[in-house]
Amino acid sequence: MDYSLANALRYNMQGIRRIINFYDVNCAYMRKLRQRVGNNEFLKFPTDMEIVPGIGIWHVHGHQPQCFSRYAPLYIEGAGWIDGEVIETLWSILNVVSASTRGMSSPHRQELLNFQMNDSNFMKMICMGRHLSAKWKNALSTSRAAGRAFDSLDSGVPEAERRHWMDMERAALNTQVDDPSAMDIFQLKTNKAASIRTVEMDLLGQHASSVETPQGTVTWLAQGLAIEESTIHVMKDQRSLKSTATDVQKLAVVRRMDRLSSDISKFIDAATAYMGSAIEDHDDTAADEAESEWEEQNDDPQSDLPLPFIHIPALPLPSSLGRRNCNEHGLAALADLELQLRIRQANDALHSIRFTLADKAVLFRTEVRHASNQSANTCAWGKVHQADTVLSRHAQIYKKCRKAMIALEADEILLERYKPLVDQDLKVTTAISNPNGSVHRMENLA
C-alpha cells in the first residue's frame, strides 16, 4: 500500500497540494505513514502535499463510532456527496455472473471475470457523459432541498451560538489531518439522566442532618419504590405461569410472593415513624382495586392455577395520600423527596424501555429474518416474546411513576416531559439499526 500510494502521488501531480485518500482502514494506516515513508530510502512523498485520510461509507459503519465523524467523506471539506468506494460498487454487477463461475476451472473463471470487468470499464467510458449529466442535475435538486432543510434548522439558532459553532467547526477542520479526534465535536452526545441510585446517594447526603424529615427517610422511600417494582415483577411472573407449569415453578413464584408480603409488612410497620398519624388516612383498598383492574385487563385463561392466595397490601407512600393530605399533615418535605425519587425511577424505566426496544430490533434483524426452518423460527419468536415481557414490565413501572407524579401534583412542565406511554411508543422499527440504508442517507435532519 505504501508503494502504491507513493508512486500515485508522484505521477502527474504538478500543482496539486491537497489530496483525499480513501482506504478501508485509514484510521490505523495513516497514523505513522510519513514516518514509514521517511525511513524508506526507496519511497518519497511530496513534502508540501496535504493528505486527508478518509474511509468509504460502506466500511466506516463497521468501525468504531468515532471513526464516522473523523473519516467519513461527509465530514471532509471538499469531498462532496460521494461514497468513497471503488471495488464495492462493482459487486452488484459481479453478482450477476458469480453463480455461473462456481462450476468453472480457475483459468475459465479468471477469463470470465476479466471479460466482465473489461465490459464494465467500457460501459463506464461510453456512458460517462450521460451519467455525469444526470448526477449534476440530481446534485442541483438535492442541494436546494438540503439548503431548505438547513435553513429551517439554522433559523432557530441564536446568532452568538451560531458563531461559536462555526468557530469550532473551522478549528476542527483545520486540525483534522494532524488530530482526527478534533472532529469528535460532530458526534452526537447525549447525557444519561440520573438514576434513582445516584439521586438516592445525593439525597442521603443532603438530608443527613435535616430536621424536616426523620433520619432514614430517603432509604425508607427508596425501599418502597423497590418493593413496588418487585410487586410488578411478581405479578407478571404469576400471570405468565401456564397450566403446564411444574410444582417447582409454582413454588418459586409462591415463595417470592411470600417474601414480598413480608417486606411489605415490615415497610408498613416502619411507616409510622415517617408518616405519623397520616398513615390512618391511607386507603388500602384503592390500590388493590387498581391492581385487580389491571389483572383483569391482562387476564390469561391458561394461567388460572390453584396457587395460594397471598394478600399484597398497598404501600403507605405520600403519593397514595395525595399532595393535599401530605400538606395537611406536615409531610410536604416527604412528598418532595418521593417526587424526586419518582422522577429518577421514571428515567430508569425509560432507559430500560429504550434498550429493550433496541434488543428487540436486533432480534428481528439477526434471528427472526434469518430463521431458515420451523425450529429456528420458533426459537427466534420465543426470544421476541421474552423481550416483550420485559418491555411490558418496564412500561408498567413507568406508568406507575407517572401516576404517582400526578398524585404528588408535579408541575405541568414536568408532566409534559414525562408524557403518557402509549402503545405506539413501544413499537420498534428495524430501519434505524441499518445505518447503511440508502434511504436514510437522503433524509433531512428536520
Query: Where does a domain end: 165, 186, 207?
Result: 186
Predicted TM-score (pTM) of this structure: 0.59
Q: Which three cell numbers stand for residue 177?
A: 489531518
Q: How far is CA 345 from the centre of its chain?
A: 19
Residue 33 lies in a domain: yes
Distance CA 331, CA 302 (A): 45
Residue 442 lies in a domain: no
Q: What is the 3-state secondary structure (H, E, C) of 156-180?
A: CCCHHHHHHHHHHHHHHHHCCCCCH
Same domain, 107 and 233: no
Q: Is 53 helix (H, G, I), strand (E, B) or coil?
A: strand
Q: At what angle do helices 196-206 and 217-240 cross, to 10 degrees?
A: 160
- 135 & 237 share domain: no
Strand partners, 51: 19
Query: Does 154 map to a domain?
Result: yes
Query: Which residue ranges of the chain lie beneath pLDDT 70?
Result: 190-191, 207-213, 278-313, 429-446
- Residue 363 domain flag: yes
Instruction: Examine the fold and report which residue of 155, 186, 217 is the final residue of a domain before the chain moves on.
Output: 186
206 with 96, same domain: the answer is no
- Looking at the structure, do residues 76 and 154 belong to the same domain, yes or no? yes
Residue 233 is assigned to a structural domain of this protein:
yes
Question: Which range marks the domain in which residue 123 is found?
Answer: 1-186
What pLDDT is recorded for position 208?
54
**Which of 118-154 are b and which e, b meaning 16 or more Cβ less than 10 Å from the residue's Cβ?**
eeeeeeeeeeeeeeeeeeeeeeeeeeeeeeeeeeeee
Q: So what's the pLDDT on residue 94? A: 82
Cβ 38 vs Cβ 8: under 8 Å: no
Both 253 and 213 in one domain: the answer is yes
From residue 258, how far is each of 226, 234, 357 by CA, in Å?
A: 16, 10, 32
Q: Are residues 167 and 208 in the same domain?
A: no
| Domain identity same for 175 and 39 | yes
Domain end call among 186, 205, 228: 186
Exposed, middle or buried by CB within 10 Å (0-12, 13-18, 19+), for 230?
A: middle
| Whether residues 248 and 175 fall in one domain | no
Same domain? 51 vs 153: yes
The alpha carbon of residue 357 and the mean position of all alpha carbons in its chain are separated, in whole angstroms, by 9
Whether the CB-CB separation of 410 and 372 falls below 8 Å is answered with no
Residue 9 corresponds to which cell in the numbers above?
502521488
Q: Provide the domain count of the chain.
A: 2
Mark whether 205 and 176 lie in a shared domain.
Answer: no
Cβ pair 314, 284 in contact under 8 A:
yes
Q: Are 242 and 230 in contact (CB under 8 A)?
A: no
Residues 240 and 334 in one domain: yes
Specify which residues 54 forms β-bridges with.
Answer: 22
- The pLDDT assigned to 296 comes to 41
Q: Contact 6/43 with Cβ under 8 angstroms? A: yes
Tell whether 151 and 54 lie within a shared domain: yes
Q: Does residue 221 belong to any structural domain of this protein?
A: yes
- Count the Cβ atoms, other than its own, within 10 Å of residue 189: 7
Q: Give domain status of residue 324, yes or no.
A: yes
Cβ neighbours of residue 378 under 8 Å, at least 6 residues apart? none
Look up cell 410488578; give the residue.
232
Examine residue 289 and state whether it is found in any structural domain, yes or no: no
